[in-house]
Structures are given as structure tokens and as C-alpha cells.
Amino acid sequence: MKKQLLIVILVLIVSNSWAQKKDLLGFKIDKTITEAIKQYSFLKTNVPLGLYPKTYHSDNDKLETSTSSWWCSGFYPGTLIYLNEASNSQIFTSDIKSILNDLKKEQYNKSTHDLGFMMYCSFGNAIRLNANTEYENVLMNSAKSLASRYNDTVKCIRSWDSASWNKAGEDDLVVIIDNMMNLEMLFWATKQSGDSLYYNVAVNHADKTLKNHFRNDYSSFHEVIYDEKTGKVKAQITNQGAADNSSWARGQAWGLYGYTVMYRETKDVKYLKHAQRIANYILNHSNLPKDKIPYWDFNAPNIPNALRDSSAAAIIASALLELSEYSNKKTKKHYFNEAKTILDNLLTPEYISEMGKNGGFLLKHGVGNMPKKTEIDTPLSYGDYYLIEAMIRYKNQLNQL
């Protein structure tokens, strides 16, 4: 009860600061953070230690979970860490410690390229807020495991191992655009250890992805298949999109976010320009709705009746807010305002769950994998994570104005 009262008081104090700035979105963010704390307090009562929430099926009122080896496992503790940060409280601290203690075994998992999602969204955020030697060791081992998947002929980190996931043969090397999101942990590893190997792997991977994943209009394929013996491109396809030549919305979001991080970590202007070009492709697309919440694919066959993907919107908003910090005055304002529009529309009853519903998740109407008919029009753990990250970024930037 005391913790809940403290949170209410903090929200009232912060809300007053938004009143002084005359920023209505700030009020909505504070309200949503309070609701998110309630939602995740409910959610965690239904998630036993050792399991991680993935999504919720409203048709049978069933929460779907995974073990720590699933690519989304880092989003749950990462979201709890963000909620502690956003509320300036320790309400989830004991839960976070328990979950990280379970998740840490994945530091030695060399079978996945998603260790950045799994370990940096969790342990990376924990370290960002509070230095911890044990967690730093976990992250270093995670970076080593991720780097072990690097192929020096292709100059990329291998994504999927199983050919059954895609159209590749057993001797091919698959790279998906999502992998750009796992590079941030490698930059941290070089800064932490002084070993440039991790930095070089990240840069090589980003450069090869920039060359082969993007079309002339700066939209992205989802998947590129390489001959791992020669490094030559064998196919460019879109596994989770509407068609190989379509623009899968979350794939565009991963690219935008990933190249924004690349500029932050290297200060190489080519990455900044590329991120801006991706942003402009997204924001100027004729099929982007007026509310800026994209359809699950920009070329979905039944637009305007196609499903939206709230998770892609949240990722795009968060990326645009960071990208705005690196852009000139005019472009900065444009990206900031576009992110603000996305957030303003996400933080409405259309997309934010009623308390105690949606399985305990915050954001509604995400689309996981439409071609495989999994996680369709449903909450997604990463949708919540990037929405809360975007809200924190917005508040931090507004406080700097």
C-alpha cells in the first residue's frame, strides 16, 4: 500500500511539471505508466519463475509463455526495469533480480543471434541504472557467444540455424534485418573489455546489411541468404511479410532503430544518413495511415482493412526520438513531432488495454508472424518494451527543452 501511495504522489508531482510545460502527452504518459505498473503487477502473478510472457490469447483467455531460450525472454525483465525507472521506484526490484538470476544461463547460448534482445534489453538496462560486476560478466559472456556466430567470409552474424525456417539450404548463411538490433551489445563489449573484435564484428555486419538488405527506395528485405563459402548473395526475401518484394513494417522498424544505434556508437555519418533515409521512407509512404500506426506490412494486400502492428509503431517512435537528437534543427523537430504523433495515438483506448485485461499486457493489436498465422492482432512482449522505452525517451527529451 505504501509503495502504491508513493507512486501516486510521484505521478502527481511529475504531472504538475507537464502542466507547466503545457504538454498534454506528458499527462497521458504518466497515466499510462501508472496503468502499466498495475498491469505488470497483475501479469507477474500469472508467470512462474522460469517462464517468460510472450502473448495472450483472448479467444480462450490464455497467457502464452516461453522458457528463457526464446528470443523475447529479455523483454519481460527489461520492461520491469523500465517501469522502475519511469516511476522512480523499486516496485519490481525483487522480481527483476529473480528473473535475471534465471535468465543468466543464456549467456552461453551460441545457438541464437538474438542474445542482444535477450541479454542487453535485460542485463544491459540493469547495468545502465546500477553498476553490477556479476551482470557485466554475464553480458561479456553473452557478447562472446553472439560473436561466435560471425562468419568472416560473409562478414555477418548468422541469424537462423535451421533451414526449415526459411528457403535456405543447409550450407547457406541466413541474415535477417532483426539482427541489427543485437549489435548494441557488441559495442558495449568493446567499451567494457577494450577488445575491438566486437566493434569490428558489429560494423562489418552493419555494412554488409546496408549493402544487401536495402532496395533503392531504402525499404528493406527481411532476409538475405548468402553462400557461406563465397559470401555471394543467393536470395533476398521477406519471410514474415506479405511478399518478397513487400515492406514488412516491423522489419523497417528494426532497420531504423539499428542504424540509429550504429550512428550513436560509431559517429559514422553514413549510418546517420541511412537511418534518416529509412525514416523518410516510412514517414512518407503512401500507405502509412494518418495516425502513423503502420499496417503490418506497407504492402499488405487488403489495405485499408489490413491489421495494424502496434509493436512496429512503438519501435519506430522510440527510434525516431533518438534519431531526432542527431539531426539538424529542422529535421530534429520533424522526427520528434512524428514520434509524438505515434505515441499520442498509441496511448488511447484503441491500443492501451483496460486494467486487468489483455492478459496483463499493456499494448493491444500487435502482429507477430502473419504468414505463419501466429500472434495475430494480439499483445506482444516487445511491443510493451519499446512503447515504455519511447515514453521514457519522450519525457527525458521534453525535460531538456
Catalytic residues: 114, 178
Cβ–Cβ under 8 Å, residues 345 and 338: no
Cβ–Cβ under 8 Å, residues 54 and 72: yes
- CB proximity list for 118: less than 8 A, separation 6 or greater: 68, 71, 72, 73, 74, 103, 106, 109, 112, 142
Residue given cell 548468402 in the structure block:
226
Query: What nine digits make up the cell of 146?
Result: 553472439
The CA distances from residue 106 to 68, 73, 101, 122, 369, in Å, are: 7, 10, 10, 12, 24
Residue given cell 573484435 in the structure block:
197
Please count the residues of the chain: 401
42: phi > 0 → left, psi -120 to 50 → alpha, else beta; which?
A: alpha
DSSP letters along 131-147, please? --HHHHHHHHHHHHHHH
Query: What nine digits make up the cell of 9?
Result: 504522489
DSSP letters along 240-274, please? TSSSTTS-BHHHHHHHHHHHHHHHHHH--HHHHHH
